[in-house]
Amino acid sequence: MNTQKQKMKMQQKLTPQQLLLMKLLQLPVSRLDQRIKEELEKNPMLELDAAQDRSSDIHDDNVDIDDAYNDEDDGDFRGIDMDEYFDDDYSYRERLEKDPNQSDHRFELSESDSFTESLIRQLNLRPLSDRQRTIGMELIGSIDGSGYLGRDIDLIANDLAFRSNLDVSDKELMEVLHILQSFDPAGVAARNLQECLSLQLHRTENPDADTLLATRIVDKYFDMFSNRRYAALAAQLKVDDEALDRAVEVIRHLNPKPGWGRGTESSGAQYIEPDFIVAREGDQLSFSLSAGNRPRLHLNSDYAEMLQQMSQQKNVSSSEHETIQFIKTKTDAAQWLIDTLEQRQQTLSAIMGAILKYQRRYFLSGDKADLRPMRLKDIAALSHFDESTVSRVVNEKYVQSEFGTFLLKDLFSKALVTDQGEVLAIDHIKEVLQHLVDEEDKSNPMTDEDLTKALSEKGFPLSRRTVSKYRESMGIPVGRLRKELK
């Protein structure tokens, strides 16, 4: 028997303006600019000031930061679950190159011709039959961004039979592949790293003894070389360590990714514009929002006047009524956007101000050792915003300082509490680990056990498993693969 039950529950629903704010908060300045352009095209009630002021509103940190965040506060980190700190998504192994502290500084990367177009152009210059040209186009389409043939020859043959009704043999495919492998850049269309290096070495004009030895190593002893079994390799080749070292140096100067940085599509110039600009004057810090984060929008005065006049009419036709409703709807949407952008600016400023205060020592020195462990909840508590709001603000945003431009996420890091109760950022530990690897004896590199012991002596009590995890996240190979000849 079906029964009806009545119950009451509380539910929170977001308003359209709150939903819009959530979407706009996570947009970096470059995508915000595009979003505003789209809104200007869709909504005739919106207008952008013709003379957009590119100067930035400065936010000073005249608050006594030292009182609010003194060193004694670090003790509050004891007993917390360090797994709550940002996971690896917030750890970046590479930083953007450092740049001068110039307002609205942008990095430009431009390319006149795409990688694929370059290969097709070279193919068209060769005296080939239509059949060979079709095979060549199929092969070029299978070359990935690194310059390697990314698919098996048999699969390419099947695609030619299916799409072009062309039944080709492996011999035909290899003949055209060898033609592609003679294209620039050297090493392109290789099927693996060994073939890529071999193609580059065989293209060397008037090779010297070192290059000939390097070619022999790559062609016949690549497994031994890649596993750094140098002693066995020298014995097999019947050469001394000095000759082997010179040949290895030749190989190291080859390009393992000939297509890298060439992109398969020509997308023109790309820019990175910082969302925040931090300036230092003595021991005082200030920050500003980039001009793109402060668009000057207003309602179209002509449409507003039209709406007022039509609303005052006593007898309104159906078409005029529809016009009034259209203008009202667009006016509400435009005002929502203007108010939400203003709220977005206030939110960005509040959260960036909290980050600047929290990481004051780091922004004054630029030294990673001064980077305090920082979680989303730390900034949420300081700025009085929800953690999800803080996450949206830091997402894909760049900050420019006098010591470089970097992702705002890079300031969030995991932490380690030492035996003495000192709280250290994981980035600082990784910096020490990198220094140990850089300074080690490459003929007898340190194992993970050695690195663990060395870090412990420097005051970082880590397990070997943790050290291995940090090493791998930094892209540092195991000790046996770091071995080099003296």
pLDDT digits (tens, 9 = 90+) for 444-453: 888 888 998 8
Mean of the pLDDT values across residues 256-274? Answer: 61
pLDDT band for 355, please (50, 70, 90 cuts).
very high
Give the integer Cα–Cα distance in Å for 371 and 362: 5
* Phi, psi torsion values for 413, nearest 5 degrees: -145, 160
Whether residue 326 sits in one domain with residue 420: no
Whether residue 463 sits in one domain with residue 380: no
Contact 148, 191 (CB under 8 A): yes
Contact 292, 284 (CB under 8 A): no
| Distance of alpha carbon 278 from the chain centroid | 21
User: Would you say residue 346 lies in a domain?
Assistant: yes
DSSP 59-70: EE--S-HHHHS-
pLDDT tops 80 at residue 335: yes
Domain endpoint, select from 268, 283, 315: 268
Contact 485, 245 (CB under 8 A): yes
Whether residue 89 sits in one domain with residue 235: no
Whether residue 129 sits in one domain with residue 101: no
Contact 62, 432 (CB under 8 A): no
pLDDT tops 50 at residue 325: yes
Q: Reduce the DSSP state of residue 156 to 3 states and report it.
A: helix
Whether residue 141 sits in one domain with residue 75: no
Mean pLDDT of the chain: 77
Give the integer Cα–Cα distance in Å for 434 and 470: 10
Domain that includes residue 198, residue range? 113-268
Give the integer Cα–Cα distance in Å for 127 and 150: 26
User: Would you say residue 66 lies in a domain?
Assistant: yes
Contact 471, 451 (CB under 8 A): yes
Mean of the pLDDT values across residues 261-284? Answer: 69
Give the integer Cα–Cα distance in Å for 290 and 397: 11
Give the integer Cα–Cα distance in Å for 148 and 256: 10
Compute and round to an integer the Cα radius of gyration of the chain. Answer: 31
Which of 180, 251, 261 lies closest to 210 in space, CA to CA?
Answer: 251
Quickly tell me which residue has 């709807």 as its tokens: 329
Whether residue 244 sits in one domain with residue 132: yes
Give the integer Cα–Cα distance in Å for 25 and 394: 9
Q: Which amino acid is at 181?
A: Q
Q: Which residues pair with 60 in a beta bridge?
A: 286
Q: Quick one: pLDDT at residue 88?
A: 35
User: Would you say residue 7 lies in a domain?
Assistant: no
Q: Which residues pair with 485 in a beta bridge?
A: none
Give the integer Cα–Cα distance in Å for 98 and 406: 9
pLDDT digit string, tens, across residues 404-424:
888 888 888 665 555 555 556
User: Would you say residue 232 lies in a domain?
Assistant: yes
Number of alpha carbons in the 13 Å side-chain half-sphere of residue 93: 8
| CATH number of residue 458's parent domain | 1.10.10.60
Whether residue 184 sits in one domain with residue 52: no
Q: Residue 284: enclosing H or E segment and its boundaries?
A: strand 284-289
Give the Cα-Cα-Cα angle 289, 295, 301 (nearest 5 degrees): 155
Give the Cα-Cα-Cα angle 61, 63, 67 (nearest 5 degrees): 125
pLDDT digit string, tens, across residues 174-192:
999 999 999 988 889 898 8
Which of 190, 86, 109 lies closest to 147 in space, CA to CA?
Answer: 190
Contact 88, 412 (CB under 8 A): no
Mean of the pLDDT values across residues 61-70? Answer: 42
User: Would you say residue 52 lies in a domain?
Assistant: yes
Dihedral, 365, 468, 417, 376 alpha carbons, nearest 10:
70
Domain endpoint, select from 366, 394, 411: 411
User: Would you say residue 5 lies in a domain?
Assistant: no
Return the percentage of the chain with pLDDT > 90, whole number: 9
User: Would you say residue 3 lies in a domain?
Assistant: no
Whether residue 259 sits in one domain with residue 299: no
Whether residue 140 sits in one domain with residue 91: no
205 burial via Cβ count (<10 Å: 0-12, 13-18, 19+)? exposed
Whether residue 215 sits in one domain with residue 99: no
Give the Cα-Cα-Cα angle 366, 369, 373 (nearest 5 degrees): 100
Count of CB atoms situated within 10 Å of the CB of 317: 9
Domain endpoint, select from 411, 436, 458: 411
Q: Quick one: pLDDT at residue 349?
A: 92
User: Would you say residue 319 lies in a domain?
Assistant: yes
pLDDT band for 425, please (50, 70, 90 cuts).
low
pTM score, two decimals? 0.47
Q: Quick one: pLDDT at residue 332?
A: 85
286 compared with 273, residue with greater pLDDT: 286
Q: Reduce the DSSP state of residue 281 to 3 states and report it.
A: strand
Per the structure, how many domains does the chain have? 3
Whether residue 280 sits in one domain with residue 191: no
Number of alpha carbons in the 13 Å side-chain half-sphere of residue 343: 17
Whether residue 421 sits in one domain with residue 357: no
Return the percentage of the chain with pLDDT > 70, whole number: 78
Lowest mean pLDDT among 90-94, 353-357, 378-382, 405-409: 90-94
Report DSSP state, residue 49. Answer: -
